């Protein structure tokens, strides 16, 4: 029976995990053994014994007997020096062609022992593959000779080769990121994936340093199990865990759903990544020690960092006199000292703190709280130290709430990190903003706690605030500080929401912000609370990722916060419009086609802003949005206002629009082409709706509809006293804004102001609507408009 048929039988038998991978390797071995025997027998002279001096050797994952259902067979045909080239080639063809005919993927090579060794010296992947070489069939002495020589060569050249492996890890980080924090991660190439696990084998084979065992081995096995399930459920060899495949993979592994799957993958990846970090530090230390001059071989210099903490060999260690059993603040002091110095905590120090550390009293003493704040304020040095505390269990001793947050996935393409890592990154970014606030301690603690309510039923901001009300007193904060921390967590999304999605000139916009800033019993006043909320909002957005953090959003946050503070101080606020709409409208009124279009490219090639002014009438927003869509211009944001222009005693209303845009391909089109299309569309000579619908149908990927959440359309009754506000949240498509704006105009509503924002793959748009008399819409009219929008989005 061939391998392909046997593979299907094994998969169909229900065998899974390590047993399936071993059975697949055994089946492949048996098949290749038969092929080699047949080839040798066919090539031997009549009556002679089968020719010796050749062997089949499994390398790479196959050498480890870790064949996943879609894995290649990575095979080396090894021959002795006396074997003639023509005979070897003939033998190889007799083995490889049946494999190809069976449509089994094969990665093959034919070499002598000396040739294989020489190539391994030049080719790093070949050298790594030979570390797991395993005999399949033929002359075992050849395989043993190659294995012995390959391992000896690796150990001899390890000081040169291991830095190459480490450098390739940095390249993989740039290309694939960290598996633990990817929504659609590469199980093999991403940091913390199977390639990292294999690197641990290479480090161990060098005999230069020990590697962690136990948890990393179990994590590797779990990632292999996930890859097996991915291969079986999709029917193809793939290492990338795509969104649409996660539920099926989870079900095959007996998990409740994709969130549980991502949590397990993240935990396994973090275990492997941490083990690699520790192992690579050991290698770096060994190689550095070898390079030291003889006069320094007496030992590394120990530099004091804090009471009981010293720096040596590029790590933060506990001083010999440190006593964790009598010093409950020592874990926080050591962590803060390490992070502030940009050093990792030494594994030996972590073991001492875990084994001998004393628990902190409740509430924490002031010294513990101050060290905690110092740790949070250490900037980028916080991340590896926090991860070490988490991996060793020290963190949950200090903050039991962290257990639930660990590796919690965020099923949101805007986020680039899991919930726990996002909280840590928010603290990192908050640390750079501490000099803008009077209470940096409250900013930093709010930053690391702001998403504490995620993963629990209810609004995560409200739930998180309730959790902080219990946590803050335990950390030693007083009642006033606790009230402020809870309010910051409760309102951590508020400034971004009103700045990006609400009309800044509407009194209701600032009213809700000012109300939140007045914290009953709080230890800071409204002005300082706004400063804290502003800094927290920026840090949260920057930690979320580039989809929600850019100069435009930063400017909106600052402008809204400044207006709120000015209102508190009793100062008059200037209109928040970011461009002079009246000037543009007057320019449009002075030209025959009554249309003004001005483009700038402040963000570089393909990115910029587009200002448009034209006579105001129902549907003009839909027209401009439609033309931009047809010209392959992606709408990242839009501000829309209506201005009055007097000319010769006649006052006319003009729609003025500022679009933040990016080219879908190449550069933005020139203004002349845009003006021509706008004139045609405004004259009714361009069927925008039909052309956009046709284009969207062509571009829609198969199966996408099943993966995208339904659009949300909500009437926000309290968002404005001057207009009816309807908020639309939907998957961003090229014609989305055109369809929404057209539905609004078809329902007889006028868009007086619009705040349009694209966040990654999601659009969040707010429309301020009035009827033809300029008044707010009636409840029935608002409901009709909302229904029209829902119908358009279906």
Say yes or no to pLDDT of 707 above 50: no
Write out pLDDT tens, residues 297-321. Answer: 555 578 999 999 999 988 999 999 9
Closest CA to 138 of 192, 80, 189, 221: 80
Query: pTM (2 decimals)?
Result: 0.77
Closest CA to 75 of 135, 24, 121: 135
Please report the pLDDT score of residue 601 as a whole number: 59
* Residue in the structure block whose two tokens are 């003939």: 90
The mean of the pLDDT values for the chain is 89
For residues 461 and 491, the answer to whether their CB atoms sit within 8 Å is yes
* Beta-bridge partners for 598: 611
Between 296 and 733, the more confident residue is 733
* Beta-bridge partners for 755: 639, 766
HSE-CB at 218 with a 13 A cutoff on CA atoms is 5
Between 87 and 411, the more confident residue is 87
d(CA 20, CA 30): 15
Between 599 and 759, the more confident residue is 599
Q: What does the CA dihedral 376, 381, 385, 387 come to, rounded to 10 degrees?
A: 90
Write out pLDDT tens, residues 155-166. Answer: 999 999 999 999
3-state per-residue secondary structure call for 535-575: HHHHHHHHHHCCCCCCHHHHHHHHHHHHHHHHHHCCCCCCC
For residues 243 and 184, the answer to whether their CB atoms sit within 8 Å is yes
Write out pLDDT tens, residues 422-445. Answer: 999 999 999 999 989 989 999 999
Say yes or no to pLDDT of 596 above 50: yes
For residues 761 and 507, the answer to whether their CB atoms sit within 8 Å is no
CA distances (Å), origin 247, targets 261, 325, 405, 418: 8, 46, 21, 18
Q: What percent of the chain has pLDDT over 90?
A: 65
HSE-CB at 348 with a 13 A cutoff on CA atoms is 13
779-793 vs 736-746: helix crossing angle, rounded to 10: 140
Write out pLDDT tens, residues 257-285. Answer: 999 999 999 999 999 999 999 999 999 88
Pairing of β 73-79 and β 303-306: unpaired
d(CA 361, CA 367): 12
3-state secondary structure of 265: helix
| Most confident residue range from 292-301, 567-576, 583-592, 740-749 | 740-749
Residue 690: burial class (beta carbons within 10 Å; 0-12, 13-18, 19+): exposed
Say yes or no to pLDDT of 603 above 70: no
d(CA 490, CA 469): 11
Please report the pLDDT score of residue 709 as a whole number: 66
Instruction: Work out the pLDDT band at 2, boundaries 50, 70, 90.
Output: confident
pLDDT, mean of residues 689-702: 71
Please report the pLDDT score of residue 295 as a whole number: 41
Write out pLDDT tens, residues 328-375. Answer: 999 999 999 999 999 999 999 999 999 999 999 999 999 999 999 999
Pairing of β 750-759 and β 633-647: antiparallel
For residues 387 and 518, the answer to whether their CB atoms sit within 8 Å is no
Say yes or no to pLDDT of 626 above 60: yes
pLDDT, mean of residues 567-575: 67
């Amino acid at each position: 029976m061939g391998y392909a048929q046997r593979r299907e039988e094994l998969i169909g038998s229900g065998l899974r995990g390590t047993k399936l991978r071993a059975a697949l390797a055994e089946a492949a071995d048996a098949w290749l053994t038969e092929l080699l025997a047949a080839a040798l027998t066919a090539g031997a002279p009549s009556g002679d014994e089968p020719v010796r001096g050749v062997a089949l050797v499994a390398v790479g994952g196959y050498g480890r007997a870790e064949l996943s259902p879609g894995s290649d067979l990575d095979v080396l045909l090894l021959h002795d020096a006396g074997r003639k080239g023509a005979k070897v080639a003939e033998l190889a063809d007799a083995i490889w062609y049946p494999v190809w005919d069976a449509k089994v993927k094969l990665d093959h090579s034919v070499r002598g022992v000396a040739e294989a060794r020489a190539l391994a010296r030049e080719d790093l992947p070949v050298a790594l593959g030979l570390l797991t070489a395993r005999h399949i069939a033929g002359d075992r002495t050849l395989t043993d000779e190659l294995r012995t020589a390959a391992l000896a060569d690796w150990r001899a050249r390890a000081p040169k080769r291991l830095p190459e492996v480490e450098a390739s890890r940095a390249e993989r980080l740039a290309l694939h990121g960290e598996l633990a924090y990817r929504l659609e991660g590469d199980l093999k190439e991403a940091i913390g994936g199977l390639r990292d696990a294999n690197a641990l084998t290479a480090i161990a084979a060098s005999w230069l340093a020990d590697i962690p065992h136990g948890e990393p081995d179990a994590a590797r096995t779990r990632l292999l199990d996930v890859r097996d399930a991915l291969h079986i459920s999709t029917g193809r060899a793939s290492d990338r865990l795509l969104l649409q495949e996660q539920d099926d993979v989870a079900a095959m592994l007996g998990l409740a759903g994709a969130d549980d799957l991502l949590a397990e993958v993240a935990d396994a990846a973090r275990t492997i990544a941490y083990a690699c970090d520790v192992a690579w530090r050991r290698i770096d230390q060994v190689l550095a020690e070898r390079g030291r001059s003889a006069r320094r071989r007496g030992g590394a210099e120990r530099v004091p960092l804090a009471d009981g903490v010293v720096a040596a060999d590029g790590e933060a260690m506990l001083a010999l006199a440190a006593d964790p059993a009598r010093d409950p603040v020592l874990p926080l002091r050591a962590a803060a000292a390490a992070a502030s110095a940009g050093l990792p905590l030494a594994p030996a120090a972590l073991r001492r703190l875990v084994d001998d550390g004393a628990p902190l009293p409740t509430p924490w003493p002031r010294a513990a709280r101050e060290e905690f704040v110092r740790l949070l304020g250490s900037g980028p040095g916080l991340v590896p130290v926090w991860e070490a505390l988490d991996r060793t269990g020290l963190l949950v001793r200090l903050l039991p709430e962290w257990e639930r947050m660990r590796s919690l996935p965020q099923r949101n393409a805007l986020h680039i990190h899991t919930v726990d890592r996002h909280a840590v990154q928010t603290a990192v970014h908050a640390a750079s903003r501490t000099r803008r606030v009077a209470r940096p301690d409250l900013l930093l603690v709010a930053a690391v706690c702001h998403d504490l309510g995620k993963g629990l039923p209810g609004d995560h901001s409200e739930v998180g605030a309730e959790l902080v009300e219990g946590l803050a007193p335990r950390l030693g904060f007083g009642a006033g500080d606790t009230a402020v921390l809870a309010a910051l967590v409760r309102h951590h999304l508020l400034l971004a929401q009103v700045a990006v999605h609400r009309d800044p000139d509407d009194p209701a916009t600032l009213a809700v912000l000012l109300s939140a800033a007045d914290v009953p019993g709080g230890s800071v006043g409204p002005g300082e609370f706004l400063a804290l909320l502003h800094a927290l909002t920026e840090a949260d957005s920057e930690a979320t990722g580039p989809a929600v953090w850019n100069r435009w959003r930063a400017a909106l946050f600052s402008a809204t916060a400044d207006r709120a503070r000015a209102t508190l101080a009793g100062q008059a606020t200037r209109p928040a419009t970011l461009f002079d709409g009246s000037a543009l409208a007057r320019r449009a009124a002075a030209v025959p086609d009554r249309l003004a279009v001005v483009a700038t490219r402040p963000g570089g090639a393909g990115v910029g802003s587009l200002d448009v002014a034209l006579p105001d009438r129902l549907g003009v927003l839909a027209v401009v949005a439609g033309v931009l869509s047809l010209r392959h211009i992606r709408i990242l944001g839009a501000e829309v206002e209506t201005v009055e222009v007097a000319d010769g005693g006649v006052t006319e209303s003009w729609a003025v629009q500022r679009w933040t845009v990016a080219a879908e391909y190449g550069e933005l089109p020139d203004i002349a082409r845009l003006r021509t299309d706008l004139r045609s569309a405004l004259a009714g000579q361009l069927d925008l709706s039909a052309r956009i619908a046709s284009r969207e149908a062509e571009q829609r990927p198969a199966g996408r509809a099943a993966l995208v959440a339904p659009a949300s359309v909500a009437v926000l009754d309290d968002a404005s006293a001057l207009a009816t506000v309807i908020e639309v949240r939907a998957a961003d498509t090229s014609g989305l804004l055109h369809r929404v704006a057209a539905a609004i105009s078809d329902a007889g509503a006028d868009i007086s102001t619009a705040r349009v924002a694209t966040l990654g793959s999601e659009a969040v748009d707010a429309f301020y609507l009035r009827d033809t008399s300029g008044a707010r819409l009636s409840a029935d009219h608002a409901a009709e408009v909302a229904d029209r929008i829902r119908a358009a989005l279906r």
